[in-house]
Structures are given as C-alpha cells and as structure tokens.
A and B are shown apart, each in its own frame.
Chain A
Amino acid sequence: MKPLFIKGGRVIDPSRDYDQTTDILIENGSVIKMKKDLKPPSGAEVIDAEGLVVTPGLIDMHVHLRDPGQEYKEDITSGTRAAAAGGFTAVAAMPNTDPVTDDPSMVRYAYDKAVKAPARVYPIGALTRGQQGKELAELGRMKHAGAVAFSDDGEPVVNGMMMRNALQYAAGFDALVIAHEEDPTLSAKGMMHEGSVSSVLGLRGMPSAAEEAMLARDLMILRITGGSLHIAHVSTAGSVELLREARAEGLNVTAEVTPHHLLLTDRLVKNSGYSTNSKVNPPLRAERDRQALWEGLLDGTIDVIASDHAPHHTDDKDMEYDFAPFGIAGLETTLPLMLDEVNAERVKEFTLPVLIEKLTAAPARILKIAGGTLQEGSPADITIMDPARSFIVEPESWQSKSRNTPFAGRRLTGAPLYTIVDGRITMKEGVLAE
C-alpha cells in the first residue's frame, strides 16, 4: 500500500485536547508521523486538507445492520458503505438480527462478513438468549469471539432479576451492558410521545415515565451489582436528571443521544401529517426534553452521539401509522446534522471539538475498542470533513438500502469528505471507493 499523506488540515483529537494545523504521514495502516511542514515521501498519495478538519475515525456505537435476516432493508455491505459515506470508520451493530446474534458463531459471522467492508463492524451480542429476557445468553463465549457489549436493544429487559443477573454476570468479564430503557407495560403499544400532540392526533402515547421508571430501576440495580451500564438513546428530561444524579453518586453509567432526539420533537408527527418517518422508539419527545438533552450532552451527563441507524424498506414504512415499524436511518445524516448545528451556533458551547469527542473518544472509551484517537502510533482510522460544504439531504443517493429519514430535503452545512480505515481510503472527496 502506498504511504498516505494528509496535508495542512486542522487536526482535532479530543482524546488529548489536540487542535492544531499539521501534516500526517500514514504507512502500513498506522500514523507514522504528525508534524507541521512535513515532506511527503515520494510515491505517497497526498490529500490536500487545507481548510478541512481531520479527526480520529468516527465511531457510531448504535446501528442496526439487519444482517442476517432482513437483508432487503440493509446488510453488512450496504450498512458499512453507508457508514463510510457518513464519515464513520467503525460501527457497533445491535444483535436484533434474525437469528438473533446471541452466540459466538453469529458474532464471528459479522466479523467475517465485514473483513473487506469499508468500515469496521463491532458486533454487540444479545444479553438474553433470543432477546427473550428469559435466559442469559452466553456472554463469556461471545465476548471471547469479539462481542464488544451486550444488549437486548429494542426488547427491554422487563424482569428485574434478569437485569440484575446480567449486570452482575457481565461484570465478571468486564463487559458492557447496553440498555434500551422502556417499561413496555407503561408505553403500552404507544405510537409516539404521550402529550398534547398525541392527544390531538389520537395516537396512543408512550409517556416519558415509561423510559424514566425503567432507567431508575436499572440505576438502582447497578448500585447493588456494580459493572458498567450504558444507556441507549436517552430521550427525556427526567432521564437526563436521573443520569446526572447517578453520575454524581459515582455509578458506572454512560449514555448516548441521537441526532433526531436532539433536533426534532413530537410536533413533527403532526406537522408532517402523520409521516411514518417520524415514528421512532424512543419517540420524539417534547421541546423541554429536547432542551434537556442538549444540556445533558454539554455538561457531560450524555457521553456519546449515536445514530440508532434503523433502516427500513419503503414498503414497510409506507403504511398507516400504526402499521409502520419504528426507526430512522441515520448513518449518512448524523455527522452533517451535527456539523450543521455547530455551524449554526444555535447551541452555545457546542463546538467542533465537543462534537468530535462525542463521536470518537467517548464511544471508543465506553466500548474499550481501538481508535478514537489520532496520534503517532495509532491505527490510521481517520475522518476528514469539510465544515463549510453545503448540500441537501437526498436519501435517493444514499449508500444505505433504506430511505427512512425525516430530514430529507434539508439543506445542511458540513459534510464528511474522506473516510480512511486502517490507512485505506474508503471515501474520497465524498465518493465511495469501489
């Protein structure tokens, strides 16, 4: 492989508070040298990064790749292409495949299929067998096969004893548990956030309490079990408050938020005339929740921004509201949406380094995976973005097989230009490598 030379970019590595204009030399998949005014070695491929921002490769710690089982919605190939197109060099894949990723062979399947993929895939194993909540899955054997975390995402662990045992048992392997916090008896087959909008629309509501009650339970359990717990897609003001208190108390809990929960509210369901692209779980909440999520993100209560990329075929989404599945595809919009927020300066303190931290160092630290940093000796997983590039979201041109986004047609400023995985360019000037 030719050496790669990234010239004159603004390099931001929040893992070590680094923010300087410098050159980067990459050889054999590693960062060899970072220094100003380096000379590119002869034969090196040179990327002129002047005016661009160079960061550690972005990590999306919450995606659904639908492979195996629902390859018509997405598969590991299309999903990792979508990741690369979105500026991500690595994704953590949720286990709600068919069959469920609940044993070592399924974990290895994901790794094997992703060997030549344009982004790294870190499989997350199921917490309970078949995500049924009844028996613990073989966490140890899956961890050994490479599972980076365990979760029944989408299927809340209703049984308190099961959650207790899972957390305690996982702690024995120093393994991370990721929880989708929802009491299904309270969300009661709801279709959207419960509040004034659901009342007007006549859609069954999922009260904030459904998330908060389950989160509170799990935090109490964590207090007696130890171990590490990560909260997926936090969506309510009350959850942020619970997490803030838990962290102040010293509990080992981390959390993520999605761009759609940061940017949209339940009003979208009404304003879009019941568009099923507004249907997502947890649901888009009220404005005060949205505000609280930003506060939590900025004060460190929420560590990570993750897409919860949930691709669905148009045939599935183009339905009456109750019949459509939950989910928004986000791999190809997450970075641009967030860069656009940085540019628009709508939220003070949401600077480029803060954003990059939430997409690199934080997920790497929580998942305990390589990457998330950019320095001499680190693997050459790198994202190069143009914060000034303006474009319109056009799902028709996505790499993902799915098109389900409420952001179609939005003009955004800020886009990834290059994605580099292991020293290999997977996206070049906005075009995916074949």
Chain B
Amino acid sequence: MQTLRRKDILGLEEMSAEEINLILETARSMREIMQRKIKKVPALRGRSVLNLFYEPSTRTKASFELAQKYMSSDAVSVAGTSSSLVKGETLKDTVRNVEVMGVECVIMRHPVSGSSHYLARNVEASVINAGDGMHEHPTQGLLDMFTIWEHKGRLEELKVVIVGDIRHSRVARSNLWGLQKMGAEVVVAGPPTMMPPDLDVFGVKHFTSIEEAVADADVVMALRLQQERQESGFFPSMREYAETYGLNSKRLEHTREDLLIMHPGPINRGVELSSDLADGPRSVIMDQVAAGVAVRMALLYLLLGGTKE
C-alpha cells in the first residue's frame, strides 16, 4: 500500500501533486465504502484519534467523526476554549495530556493561524489541520478538488473562479495552492479590500467584475461573507455586496452550461449565493459535503493505516 510519507497534514501549500493525487484516489475507494449498506471497515481498529475544536464547527466536525467511525477508529471529541485568553490550560499541555492516553492523531481547528504547525512541533501524534485561523483548511481544499475531479474527470486546465473574501479565507488559500498544483487555472474575484496584500504571491489574477471573472469558467466557488468584516470596514453592507458580488442566475447568464457551482458552507442565502443557484442543477454543494467524509477517511487511512515500522 502507498502511504503518505509525512507525519502531519498542515496545508496544501507544502503538499506535492503526487500526494494530492494519492489522497484523491484513495478517497474514491472510501466513497465506495460510504455507499455500502454497512458503512464500516476495520482499517483503523484499535487506533485512537482526538478531535480538538477551538472554534465552532458543524460540518467539518461531523464529517471527521463519521469518517473515524466508518474506519472503526476510537475517537474522542473535545471542544476547547482558546487558551491564554481565558488563562486556561495551554494547547501544548492539553494535547500532551491526551497523547499519553494513547491518541495517535489529533484533528484540530483553531482560530490562530499557524497553531497546527505549533502543535505538530510539540507532539508525536499526527496532526491534521481542520482549519487554522486565516491560514489553511487543507481537508476542505481536498474535498473541493475531489468534487471537481468527480464531475469533470480531471483538474488540469480547468478554470476555477473563487469569489469573495479571499483575504480572510483559509478555504481560499488551500484551494489556491491545491488547484494550481493539480494544473487548474484559478482566478479570484471580489472587492479589492478582500484580496490578500501582494496577491501575486499566489500566482492568480484578480477581477473586480464577477461577470468578467466567470466568463469561460468551469467552476465557480462562492465564499461565505462574514458580517464582522462589515464592522471592520471591508465592505459597506450585505445589500451592496449581494448586488455587486453576489452570485445569482442573472450574473451567471453568460456562463458555460456545465459550470459547477460550489460553496464551502454555511451559505448566506441571497448574499454571496442566491437560493436558485445553490439548490439548482449546476450546484454540487451537497456533493462537496459527501466528499468531505471520503477525503477524511482517506487521510486517516493514509496517515494511520497500514503497518507502521
């Protein structure tokens, strides 16, 4: 069996196309397991996993927990409160305590960028980053790529448009790196205040006109608009955002018939994405969610499965 020759999954920036390919191929087998009547394989029996979520999450947490159950691993989930701010136990102490109880893999979501790097340095267990601040959300990037790959049969030479708050988005960062490594062309669109400074470093082009950006696109991905960004002055109102940058049927009138519409969830309906698109025939949003479980099963399997020397 092929395995990933790495201890941790911290981001897609540091991952090679070969590794991403291996994960996607493995996820395809995992999805087959999910479609069985009895969705359980003994692959990770006797292996222990910790889900450590310092930020609220429904989709990602449920997805990881189900993936762990389908693989027969033993998992515990802990909702953390951000350390230091509440003078609680430090992250390092928390995880070291759980580690001596036998945990071999830690799935962590954390509001601070780089905290998964910090954790990975300090524990022997494998660390899977389930979203760190504004940095990366590699499993989301992988499930997005898996979804596109399933529908289009390839990733090379596809044009993918990511619309919205790229600046504050870990989902966008993971997709920017991952998709380009796999040969896709990525462009970003949205208000200039929501673009990361020195955008060139990602090797993508920026459009302020959504119509221009989505011309000839194979995939368009809307990002969630966060209300708190309005308070910081990144955009004036939900209404203006929806009118200028929101995806709706009218705005996508002149796009390809087979355009895929994606969203990492949760959706602000009528703001970044209209309901008719989200629930329409070109939407693959539910496929993304399903792919999430398969991709996470694949990652757990590749990190923990097989015989370890």
**Bound complex: CA of A131 vs CA of B126, how far in Å?**
45
**Bound complex: CA of A197 vs CA of B200, how far in Å?**
11
B114 at interface by CB-CB < 8 Å: yes
A199 touches B121 (CB 8 A): no
Q: Which B-chain residue is minimally distant from A274 (CB atoms)?
A: B114
Knowing A196-B201, A199-B201, A200-B13 are in contact, say whether A320-B110 is a contact too (CB < 8 A): yes
Chain B residues with CB under 8 A of A194:
197
Within 8 A of A (CB), among B132-177: 132-136, 167, 170, 173
Most buried by B among A202, A204, A205, A319: A202
Knowing A201-B135, A202-B132 are in contact, say whether A321-B118 is a contact too (CB < 8 A): yes
A202 touches B198 (CB 8 A): no
Chain A residues with CB under 8 A of B199:
199
Q: Which B-chain residue is minimally distant from A193 (CB atoms)?
A: B197
A287 at interface by CB-CB < 8 Å: no
A203 touches B114 (CB 8 A): yes
State which of B63-71, B85-93, B274-282 sits at the interface with chain A. Answer: B85-93
A195 touches B198 (CB 8 A): yes
A320 touches B198 (CB 8 A): no
B136 touches A202 (CB 8 A): yes
Partner of A201, one of B85, B91, B113: B113
B117 touches A195 (CB 8 A): no
B84 touches A320 (CB 8 A): yes
B62 at interface by CB-CB < 8 Å: no
A198 at interface by CB-CB < 8 Å: yes
A323 at interface by CB-CB < 8 Å: yes
Chain B residues with CB under 8 A of A319:
83-84, 90-91, 118
How many contacts A-B (CB < 8 Å)?
A: 76
Q: Which A-chain residue is minimally distant from B132 (CB atoms)?
A: A202
Q: Which A-chain residue is minimally distant from B54 (CB atoms)?
A: A320
Most buried by A among B112, B114, B117: B114
B192 at interface by CB-CB < 8 Å: no
Contact with A along B121-132 (1 / 0, CB 8 A): 100000000001
| CB of A205, distance to nearest CB on chain B (Å) | 6
**Bound complex: CA of A320 vs CA of B85, how far in Å?**
11
**Bound complex: CA of A204 vs CA of B90, how far in Å?**
22
A273 at interface by CB-CB < 8 Å: yes
B197 touches A199 (CB 8 A): yes
Knowing A318-B92, A319-B90, A321-B113 are in contact, say whether A202-B197 is a contact too (CB < 8 A): no
Chain B residues with CB under 8 A of A205:
197
Q: Which A-chain residue is minimally distant from B115 (CB atoms)?
A: A320
| CB of B117, distance to nearest CB on chain A (Å) | 4
B198 touches A274 (CB 8 A): no
B118 touches A320 (CB 8 A): yes
A50 at interface by CB-CB < 8 Å: no
Knowing A195-B198, A196-B201, A320-B84 are in contact, say whether A202-B134 is a contact too (CB < 8 A): yes
B132 touches A196 (CB 8 A): no
B196 at interface by CB-CB < 8 Å: yes
A322 at interface by CB-CB < 8 Å: yes
Q: Which A-chain residue is minimally distant from B199 (CB atoms)?
A: A199
B133 touches A322 (CB 8 A): yes
**Bound complex: CA of A200 vs CA of B115, how far in Å?**
15
B197 touches A195 (CB 8 A): yes
Q: Which A-chain residue is minimally distant from B173 (CB atoms)?
A: A202
Within 8 A of B (CB), among A314-366: 318-323
Q: Which B-chain residue is minimally distant from A191 (CB atoms)?
A: B113
B91 touches A320 (CB 8 A): yes
| CB of A36, distance to nearest CB on chain B (Å) | 56
**Bound complex: CA of A207 vs CA of B196, how far in Å?**
12
Q: Which A-chain residue is minimally distant from B110 (CB atoms)?
A: A320
| CB of B203, distance to nearest CB on chain A (Å) | 11
**Bound complex: CA of A196 vs CA of B13, how far in Å?**
14
| CB of B211, distance to nearest CB on chain A (Å) | 26
Knowing A202-B135, A203-B113 are in contact, say whether A323-B200 is a contact too (CB < 8 A): no
Partner of B117, one of A198, A199, A207, A274: A274
A273 touches B117 (CB 8 A): yes
Chain A residues with CB under 8 A of B198:
195-196, 199
Chain B residues with CB under 8 A of A197:
201
Chain A residues with CB under 8 A of B13:
200
**Bound complex: CA of A195 vs CA of B199, how far in Å?**
9
Q: Which A-chain residue is minimally distant from B172 (CB atoms)?
A: A202
Within 8 A of A (CB), among B68-87: 83-85
Chain B residues with CB under 8 A of A323:
83-85, 112
Partner of A320, one of B83, B196, B197: B83
Partner of A322, one of B90, B112, B121, B173: B112
Top 7 closest pairs, chain A to chain B, by CB: A274-B114, A202-B135, A202-B134, A199-B196, A196-B201, A196-B198, A202-B113
Additional A-B contacts beyond A196-B200, A200-B202, A203-B114 (17; CB < 8 A): A196-B197, A199-B198, A199-B202, A202-B136, A202-B170, A203-B113, A273-B114, A273-B121, A274-B113, A318-B90, A319-B90, A319-B91, A319-B118, A320-B114, A320-B115, A322-B111, A323-B84
Residues of A within 8 A of B (CB): 194-205, 207, 273-274, 318-323
Q: Can you give 16 A-B contacts (C-beta < 8 A)?
A: A196-B198, A198-B197, A200-B13, A201-B113, A202-B113, A202-B114, A202-B133, A202-B173, A203-B113, A204-B134, A207-B197, A318-B90, A320-B112, A321-B112, A321-B118, A323-B112
